[in-house]
Amino acid sequence: MRKNIIISFLFVLLLTGCSNLLSSANNKAKFERLLSDDEYTYSLFIASPRELITLNILEENNITNVSRIQHEELQYIDKEYKFLKINRSPSFLVFDNKEMIYMTENQSDLVNFLQNTKNKE
């Protein structure tokens, strides 16, 4: 009887560990999809119910170092990207090809950051 309890307990621990590994691997895959495709441009992830930033807006501000923009609503982000710890809309996140390099809740600050770092090459 005692042996069965110990085996059951170990089985539950194993399942819990596997679940955490799968969750961690899933978050890593989601994070990697947010990264820029190359070392010369940035990727933007924006928490907003509407498109606040477009490639046209960036061009109007002489910003050419952004290759991709992804807009998502806060409810979706809270479910799918909880690991980013975004709790306000709008929020603007900038990624290079390795990591998140900038985060702000202010659109003007984002534009200033991108203008000041536009010579990535």
pLDDT at res. 121: 46
Which band of pLDDT confidence, cut at 50, 70 and 90, is reported for residue 4? low
- Note the pTM of the prediction, 2 decimals: 0.76
Domain 35-121 architecture = 3-Layer(aba) Sandwich (3.40)
Average pLDDT on 69-79 reads 90
**Predicted confidence (pLDDT) per residue in 91-101, tens digit:** 999 999 999 99
Under DSSP, is residue 104 helix (H, G, I), strand (E, B) or coil? strand
Among residues 109, 112, 105, which one has the least CA distance to residue 89?
A: 105
CA distance 28 to 7: 32
Nearest-angstrom CA–CA distance, 22 and 30: 12
Distance CA 33, CA 8 (A): 38
CA distances from 16 to 9, 19, 103 (A): 11, 5, 33
Distance CA 89, CA 77 (A): 10
Q: Average the pLDDT over 53-59 and give the result.
A: 89
What's residue 15's pLDDT? Answer: 41
Q: Would you list the domain boundaries of the chain?
A: 1-33, 35-121
